[in-house]
Amino acid sequence: RKRSESSGPSAEAAASALLEGVDQRGLAFDPVPVIPGDDLTDTVRSADGPVAVGEGLSTDGSIVTATRRGMLRYKPPNHFWVDSPLRRYVPQQEDAVVGVVEDSGSISYRLNICAALPATLSVLGFQGATKRNKPTVKVGDAVYCRISAARRDMDTELSCMSVFGQRKEWQTGEATFGVLEGGVLIRCTTAQAASLRNHENKVLQSLGEVLAFEMAVGSNGVVWVKAGSAVEMVLITNAIKNSFVIPEEQVPQMVSQLRKRIQVATLARGERGGSNSEGDGDEDE
């Protein structure tokens, strides 16, 4: 049957209208393999307007260089970063990291931040800390802090003082940085940690719909998680680890299945505990 002719816009015109305003660079940009020291100034500065550089990139004036090996990626409208599978962290100034205290001294603490060498944190490096009023930090404690200085020829320096945003003192319990009490730690790659800091991360959105929990994600690939119970922390850690190896569209279903399994296991344990209590009562009679 013959199609009726229409005076409306053609399919090509409709497609052009749909794509109008879309960042064509984002559609056309192919990931570029890079190694530390590569000069990426021309590639990064070719974007229109101001540019935001992320993981694996550093700026020195107008020069942009790579600090780790991996694939240079781009996200519209102006974000560049290096996607790297490495677990070894290369300290970058102002990165937020999760470190574990390895040694405690009278002047500073030594923390493992999964880099080539440990980093140091002053005992007075907490918001509002004084010689008489400072937090108690023990060996083995996890600390969420920022890198205040990262130089090749000196130890990496850490600080728990905020530079931007709210600057609440450590004793209020509402400071951005500080000692992380309780919870568990998860190790992942630096690229996976970067994905967890994305506000649109699918697994965290799915978990947030069914559970209340706290989380601190370090740029060094260490993630701290704390929930209301050990069972909930097991669910969260398993969900996060699974999300790294399955397609994003399967994440909500995976979280739902994990939650159901844990609920069934919890009910089974409760029933066994109840039956044991009844048995003990019968013996007493």
The boundaries of the domain holding residue 206 are 185-261
> How far apart, in whole angstroms, are the C-alpha atoms of residue 57 and residue 36?
9
- Shared domain for 226 and 173, answered yes or no, is no
What's the confidence (pLDDT) of residue 86?
64
**Please, what is the Cα angle at 208 between 205 and 210, to 5 degrees?**
120
CATH number at residue 223: 3.30.1370.10
The pLDDT of residue 47 is: 63
CATH number, position 159: 2.40.50.140
Q: Could you report the per-residue pLDDT of 134-154, keeping only the tens digit for each? A: 999 999 999 999 999 988 778
From residue 264, how far is each of 5, 23, 101, 268 by CA, in Å? 61, 48, 38, 6
Res 151: pLDDT: 83
User: How far is the C-alpha of 143 from the C-alpha of 122, rounded, in Å?
Assistant: 12
**Token reading at 107:** 């002047």
Q: Which residues of the chain have pLDDT under 70?
A: 1-28, 46-49, 85-87, 269-285
Asked whether residue 124 is domain-assigned, the answer is yes
Distance CA 68, CA 35 (A): 6
Distance from C-alpha of 194 to C-alpha of 98, rounded to nearest angstrom? 13
What pairs with residue 126 in β-bridges?
A: 160
Cα torsion 248, 253, 255, 258: sign: negative
DSSP string, 201-227: -HHHHHHHTT--EEEEE-TTSEEEEEE
Give the model's pLDDT for residue 282: 54
Domain end point (choices 51, 83, 115) = 83
Q: For residue 12, what pLDDT is reported?
A: 56
Residues 256 and 243 in one domain: yes
The model's pTM is 0.69
Residues 190 and 177 in one domain: no
What percentage of the chain carries pLDDT values higher than 70?
A: 82
Q: What is the pLDDT of residue 202?
A: 92
Q: 155 and 202: one domain?
A: no
Domain end (from 122, 153, 181): 181
Task: Show the DSSP H helices in 112-250 as ranges.
Answer: 190-196, 202-208, 230-243
Rounded Cα gap, residues 24 and 21, in angstroms: 8
- The pLDDT of residue 128 is 87
Which string of DSSP letters, residue by residue, matches 30-51? Answer: PPEEE-TT-B-HHHHHTSSS--
pLDDT tens, position by position, 205-236: 999 998 899 999 999 999 999 998 898 999 99
Same domain? 50 vs 22: yes
What is the structure's pLDDT at 36?
A: 87
Please list, in sequence order, all residues whose beta carbon lies within 8 angstroms of the beta carbon of residue 94, skipping any fewer than 6 positions away. Answer: 146, 147, 148, 163
Give the largest Cα separation in the chain, rounded: 92
- When divided into structural domains, the chain yields a total of 3
